[in-house]
Amino acid sequence: MAVEVLRTSGRLRLRATGASMLPAIWPGDVLLVRRCGAVEALPGDIVLCHCAGRLVAHRLIRRTLSQNRIQWVTQGDSVEGSDTPVSSPELLGRVTAIGRGSRWLSPRRSLLGRAASWILSRSTLATRALLRLGKPVFCVQDQSLRA
């Protein structure tokens, strides 16, 4: 149903459930997704894909060419290794804002966020500890985004 809403209206609000995008996206955060063409998605963007019957929001790493077709490689910020490449129809949209509490954050990654992602992707213990601490109360990249 979410796929149809995004395809028809061009916008979707979606609650994150996993921890693969820590520290940028926490479980329970609300993602504001806007439909975008495959050409509009750029490396560094967080994109929403429909893969094997599931919705996955991961960071776009690079574009590849396979059998004369462009595919996109994504990866969770806190996981090691990339996902299976996705095709144009599977790439649904780009995350334009992350809602945490009453604030809206930019999905761009800071230098501190990159360092934290590197640590989390190599240590399940660090990921568990971070999740136990709970969501951060501060918003480093608050840009007063409105959905």
Query: What CATH number is given to the structural domain containing 65?
Result: 2.10.109.10
141 neighbors 29 (Cβ within 8 angstroms): no
Predicted model pTM: 0.85
Phi-psi region of 67 (alpha: psi -120 to 50; beta: other; left: phi over 0): left
Query: Domains in the chain: how many in total?
Result: 1
Digits of tens for pLDDT over the chain (147 positions)?
Answer: 778 888 888 999 999 999 999 999 999 999 999 999 878 899 999 999 998 889 999 999 999 888 888 899 999 999 999 999 999 899 999 999 999 989 999 998 888 888 989 999 999 999 989 898 877 644 444 444 444
61 neighbors 74 (Cβ within 8 angstroms): yes
Determine the structural domain holding residue 124 and report its residue range. Answer: 2-133
Is there a domain that residue 143 lies in?
no
Is there a domain that residue 144 lies in?
no
Is there a domain that residue 147 lies in?
no
